[in-house]
Amino acid sequence: MAVTQLAAPPAPPTPATKKSPTAAPLALVLRKVGTLLITLFFASLIVFFSRFVLPGDPARFLLRGRSPKPEALAEITKQFGLDKPPIEQYFTWIGGILHGDWGRSLTYRQSVSDVLLTRLPVTLELVALAAVFITGLGLIAGMLASLNKGGWDRFILITVTAAGAIPPFVAAIALTALFAVQLGWFPSFGSGDEGPSRLWHLTLPALALGVTFIAFMARVTRSSMNEQLTREHVEVATSRGLTRSSVVFRHVLRNALGPILTVSGVLIAGLLVSSAIVEQTFGLTGIGQLLVQSIDRLDFAVVQAIVMIIVTAFVLANTVVDLIQPLIDPRIAAGTESR
């Protein structure tokens, strides 16, 4: 239909005197970091004060499931400073966190930070391996689907729709049943020792964890690239005589990265949290499994700490994504955020 665009934006026709693309990168970074810290502050408030939602004696709450002997109650009260006002308790907690003191675990009778540190590597490795699968398989599948309409596209789309509906725990069971029990290629339990054994032990869990997200990544990649393929600058590039591969790499993929990156932020949240389920299922000694166990054993100090860690990791990841965006799309750096 008629596209005689005569939009009247209130833009002054001052040519070529606008700000440079990297207007004030430092200011941008500082602003983002500031937002990060504020978000973390409020998040920590939520995490800390969440237990106050429940009425009743906080000491008994923390000792649920264990014998509430008077000495134990007194001990708990002293340890957590329960006789002090809530605000003060909060600041003690926060202060402790920033100094590396995350409290004591009732189950392990150790400092929480000790327990966490021993388990962190497994989780990190699991998530990293899953991320490799996701970016590798997901991106490639998405690109294939977008560039080969017809054959590959339908096949990938169907596979991906089905795979995306398989929750991590179902994938875990299915993969275990097939590859561990039936075929015996991979172990079904435990995290193994450092090195190749670890990798071998983590393969199935990482796949189980990644299945839904591989599907998600594939679809986002596919739709983002499809959207770019219809853009006029792609047609212009083709009309100037660039080869198909040049056009795809320089103009389609490059421009499609933005939305893909944004989505990665959300993916990370899902990964971090679903890893708890996968770790529990495969008996991996990571912080996810610790979280589940601590909830089960009513070890609240540990739960609080792990939730805080995951939230921090998530917000941090999103901030990093936000900071990378202007590098990919200079319009965002200039403040005219649009696509």
Partner 1 sequence: MSKLLEIDQFTLHFPGRGALLNEVSLHVDDGEAVALVGESGSGKSLTTRAALGLFPETSRLSGSVKVQGLDTTSAPAAKLLQLRRNRASMIFQDPRAGINPVRTVGDFLTETLVRWRGLSREESVERAITQLEQVGLRRTKEMMRQYPHQLSGGMLQRVMIAAALLDSPELLLCDEPTTALDVTTQAGILELLREQQQARAMGMLFITHDLNLAASLCDRVYVLRKGEVVEHGAACDVFLSPQADYTRQLVGATPRIELDKVPTAPAADGTMPLLSVKGLGRRYELPGGEMLTALNDATFTLAPGGSLGVVGESGSGKSTLARMIVALETADEGELAINGRVRAPRPLRARERKLLAKDVQIVFQDPYLSLDPRIAVGKAVADVFRLHQGQGRADAVQSARELLERVGIGPERFDSKPRALSGGQRQRVAIAKALAARPKLLVLDEATSALDVSVQAQVLELVEEVREQLGLTILFVTHDLAVVSRLCAELLVLQQGQIVEQGPTAKILSAPTSDYTRTLLDSRPRALWEEQPA
Partner 2 sequence: MTLTGTLPLLRTRRYGSLLSVTGWVAVTVTLVVVLLSLLAPVLAPYDPDFVDLSSVLGGPSSAHLLGTDALGRDMLSRLMFGGRTSLVGPLIVVAASTVLGLLLGLAAGWTDGWISRILTRVFDLLFAFPALLLAMLAIAIFGKGLMAPILAMTISYIPYVARLTQQLVVAERSRPYVQAYRVLGFRTPWVVLGRVMPNLVPTVGAQSTLNFGYVLADLAALSFIGLGIQPPTSDWGAMIEEARGALLGGHVLPALLPALVVVLIVVSINVIGEELSDRIGGKLS
Question: Would you tell me which residues interact with partner 2 (CB under 8 A)?
Answer: 39-40, 42-43, 46-47, 50-51, 53-54, 161-162, 164-170, 173-174, 176-177, 181, 212, 269-270, 272-274, 276-277, 280-281, 291-292, 294-296, 298, 300, 303, 307, 310-311, 314-315
The H or E element spanning position 176 is none
237 binds, among partner 1, partner 2, none (CB under 5 to 8 A by kind): partner 1
Of the pair 88, 296, the CB lying nearest partner 2 is at 296
- The upper half-sphere exposure of residue 127, i.e. CA atoms within 13 Å in the direction of its Cβ, equals 22
Q: Give me the least distance between CB of 143 and partner 2, in Å please.
A: 20
Write out the residues near partner 1 by the rule CB under 8 A: 1-13, 15-16, 18-19, 21, 149, 231-233, 235-243, 246, 250-251, 254-255, 328-331, 334-336
Closest among 2, 19, 4 to 336, alpha carbons compared: 19
**Residue 281: which of partner 1, partner 2, none does it interact with, CB under 5 to 8 A by kind?**
partner 2
Nearer to partner 2, 125 or 299 (CB): 299
Closest distance to partner 2 from the beta carbon of 72 (Å): 20
**Residue 235 interacting partner from partner 2, partner 1, none (CB closer than 5 to 8 Å by kind):** partner 1
In angstroms, give the least distance from the CB of 314 to partner 2: 6
CA neighbor of 143 nearest in space, from 81, 232, 217: 217
154 contact, one of partner 2, partner 1, none, CB 5-8 Å limit per kind: none
Nearest of 278, 107, 93 to residue 176 by alpha carbon: 278
The span from the CA of 297 to the CA of 295, in Å, is 5
Partner whose footprint covers residue 55, from partner 1, partner 2, none (CB < 5 to 8 Å by kind)? none
Place of tokens 């699968």: 133
Nearer to partner 2, 23 or 320 (CB): 320
Minimum CB separation of residue 168 from partner 1 in Å reads 35
The nearest distance, CB 277 to partner 2, in angstroms, is 5
- Is residue 145 exposed (0-12), middle (13-18) or buried (19+ Cβ within 10 Å)? buried
Largest CA distance in the chain: 84
Binder of residue 177, out of partner 2, partner 1, none (CB less than 5 to 8 A by kind): partner 2
Residue (229 or 301) nearer to partner 2, CB? 301
Q: Is residue 293 within 8 Å of 305, Cβ to Cβ? A: no
Calpha distance 164→40 (Å, rounded): 31
What is the rounded end-to-end Cα distance, in angstroms, of the chain? 22
Q: Is the dihedral of CA 10, 335, 260, 240 positive or negative?
A: positive
Q: Which is nearer to partner 1, 7 or 183 (CB)?
A: 7
Least Cβ distance, residue 295 to partner 1 (angstroms)? 45
Cα-atom radius of gyration of the chain, to the nearest Å?
25
Considering beta carbons, is residue 146 or 247 the nearer one to partner 2?
146
Q: Angle at the Cα of 138 (from 134 to 143), degrees rounded to 5?
A: 150
Which one, of 93, 98, 57, lies nearest residue 301 by Cα? 93
Q: Report, in Å, the least distance between residue 5 CB and partner 1.
A: 5
Only one residue has tokens 């179902």, namely 170
Neighbours of 308 (CB within 10 A): 20
Residue 30 binds which entry of partner 2, partner 1, none, CB below 5-8 Å type-dependent = none
Q: Which of partner 2, partner 1, none binds 170 (CB below 5-8 Å, type-dependent)? A: partner 2
Residue 265's SS3 state is: helix
* Least distance from partner 1 to the Cβ atom of residue 325, Å: 11
Shortest reach from residue 21's CB to partner 2, in Å = 26
